[in-house]
Amino acid sequence: MSGFANQDKAALQELTCEDAERPVTTAIRQAHETTGARLTGRLAVRDGSATASGRLTMRGDHIDVEAGLESRGGSWCWQSLTVPGLELGSLRPTG
């Protein structure tokens, strides 16, 4: 979350898995619009993957997100990003 809070696209890209899902790269491109970021829950680790819940603040809106991480070669990388209730590929509400 600190990469978003600091609007540090390079740091976010460095954490990204080579085959990360498209919403990850889209979020990185929009990092400059982030005015706040924080974890909102515990990191859930299971079988070489993990999920972290957080909240981003962009343009005054609070956006709850879930980041998917993968363990590869002894390091963690960012694989996926979901926003509950939103299909990030097309930015359409799903509910």
pLDDT 10s digits, 4-39:
777 788 989 999 999 999 999 988 888 888 888 899
Q: Residue 58's beta-bridge partner residues?
A: 34, 61
Per-chain mean pLDDT for the chain: 85
pLDDT of residue 87: 62
Report the predicted TM-score, pTM, of the whole model to 2 decimal places.
Answer: 0.78
Amino acid letter, 59: R
Nearest alpha carbon to residue 59 among 23, 28, 31: 31
Q: Where are the domains of the chain?
A: 2-93
| Location of structure tokens 């991480």 | 69
What does the block give as tokens for 7? 């609007």
pLDDT 10s digits, 32-75:
888 888 999 889 999 999 999 999 888 888 989 999 999 999 99
Residues 13 and 34: their CA atoms lie apart, in Å, by: 15
Q: Residue 44's beta-bridge partner residues?
A: 51
In degrees and rounded to multiples of 5, residue 70 shows phi and psi of -125, 140
What does the block give as tokens for 40? 């909102």
Q: What is the CATH number of domain 2-93?
A: 3.10.450.50
Contact 78, 69 (CB under 8 A): yes
